[in-house]
Amino acid sequence: MADTFDCQRCPGYCCAYPVIVVTKRDVERIARHLEITPQDAESRYCRAAHGYKRILKRQDDEHFGRICALFDTETRTCTIYKARPATCRDYPGERCGYWDFLTFERDGQQDEDYISTTWHKED
């Protein structure tokens, strides 16, 4: 639901999740988008970790410590948005808990650019 959260005004909290699992098909789509081989996409952006065969690699981030290697840390957007993995497409469903928390904080602080790094998803 577009009116329940606004990723354009969010610093990309969900892209800072440590484990974002990607499939072979995701890698092939990313490779096509970047015009590189699937092997290159795999070695540049994926690694085996946390018991998974393939998760997205990460890079340093000033706000969240670490964030997806495919995230643009200047514009705070996904560099492969149209070709992003299925798990990124499916998230967050109808509501985003971080966005709810962030807008509450921004209202309270009267600062529409405030970035909160303290919210934790409750599973």
Among 31, 58, 64, 71, binds ligand SF4 (CB under 6 A): 71
Smaller CB separation from ligand SF4, 15 or 31: 15
Q: How many residues bind ligand SF4 (CB under 6 A)?
A: 22
Q: 20: exposed, middle or buried (C-beta count within 10 Å: 0-12, 13-18, 19+)?
A: buried
27 near ligand SF4 (CB under 6 A): no
10 near ligand SF4 (CB under 6 A): yes
Compute the distance between CA of residue 65 and CA of residue 48 in angstroms, rounded to an integer.
Answer: 20
Name the CA dihedral angle for 68, 71, 74, 75, rounded to a multiple of 10 degrees: -140
The token duo for 82 is 């149209």
Non-local (6+) Cβ contacts of 49 within 8 A are 19, 55
The token duo for 2 is 């577009």
**Segment contacting ligand SF4 (CB under 6 A): 2-10, 32-40, 104-112, 115-123?**
2-10
Q: Which residue has the tokens 């015009």?
A: 35
88 near ligand SF4 (CB under 6 A): yes
Least CB distance to ligand SF4 at residue 70 (A): 4
**Segment contacting ligand SF4 (CB under 6 A): 13-21, 35-43, 58-66, 109-117?**
13-21
Which residues contact ligand SF4 by CB under 6 A? 5, 7, 10, 12-15, 20, 56, 68, 70-71, 78, 80, 84-85, 88, 91-92, 96, 98-99
